Amino acid sequence: MQTISIKEIIAEVEAKFPVLADSGDIDKTSIYTTIIKEIRKFGVDALQIKSEVVSINNSRGTLPDDFKLLKGAYSLENIDCDVDGNRVGVTDSFVYREYISNPARYDVMSGKYITSCESEIVTELITIGQSNLRFKHRRQALELVKGISPNSLHAKCDNLRVRSPYKINITDTTISTNFTEGKIYVEYYALPTNIEGIVSIPILSTGALYNYIEHKIKMELAEYLIANNLNPQGIQSLYQLWKQEERMLKGEAMTEVKMTSFLNSNWVEQRKVQNRRDYNKYNPYR
């Protein structure tokens, strides 16, 4: 997915308002705050799903800085390790790099994991020199403590209604547990970022989301200038025009975000399957 980072947005604003850029009247911190605030208005449809392993020490761990909503949190139990296909046993002396969650069970006869059952494992892939190390962990959903803030949870969080002896609580970016040490595999919704990890605005299809947020930046810049009597020529007229366009641009951005989320869901495939079933059911030529 193409994105435009905050740095690129600030550069574009400065290019469009060179006089203000030279005078230092463009507040970069304010632009950053505006972008974060506006992206949040579009809910989870404008966020990215990410995963991370959190180390628990003294019953506490720190969630990633870009954490917004919990999708799922799971305990990890080491069950297997191999180096280039050769099993070497379970060990804890490794660094977490990449985690891939798959439903699977280990088949003793074949020596392989069968990915057609309900239990789940997390595969950790590490490359050291020319060797590939794979650590496999069984994961189990953790229970949420009573009274946990719903602002930290997605509406379809995997941990809702889970019953487990191992419990977690979330306050801001701190996760607390009823066990002292361990590791938790976390899937979460985060602000969109580029490959460098910089918060960015995604270009979903038409670019409507980006156009709206850029429009809000211009409006807030104009409001600041007017409030502080720094009005460059024509800014009052431009502001009134931008104000009139705001609702239309927000509506276009909302439509783009919702449509992208809809197309990325499996509804289309499910609809195709149902249509095929209906056709076969009522096809008189069968």
* Pure H helices in the chain: 6-16, 18-23, 28-40, 208-227, 235-264, 267-282
Does residue 279 fall inside a structural domain? no
Statement to judge: residues 15 and 86 lie in one domain: no
With a cut of 70, say whether residue 137 has pLDDT above it. no
Structural domain of residue 167, as residue ranges?
Answer: 48-190
112-121, 197-206, 213-222: the lowest-pLDDT one: 112-121
What amino acid occupies position 50? K
Same domain, 13 and 82: no
Interior CA angle at 10 toward 9 and 13, to 5°?
90
Whether the CB-CB separation of 172 and 190 falls below 8 Å is answered with no
In this structure, the number of other CB atoms found within 10 A of the CB of residue 128 comes to 11
- Tally of domains in the chain: 2
Q: Pick from 175, 190, 205: which residue ends a domain?
A: 190
Question: Does residue 286 lie within any of the structural domains?
Answer: no
pLDDT tens per residue across span 72-115: 999 877 666 666 665 555 444 444 444 455 555 545 445 555 55
In whole angstroms, give the CA distance from residue 211 to residue 85. Answer: 50
pTM above 0.75, yes or no: no
Asked whether residue 183 falls in the same domain as residue 52, the answer is: yes
Q: Check pLDDT > 60 for residue 177.
A: yes
Q: What is the pLDDT of residue 267?
A: 40
Asked, for residue 282, whether it belongs to a domain, the answer is no
Is 280 part of any domain? no
Same domain membership, residue 259 and residue 135: no
**Span 217-236, mean pLDDT?**
83
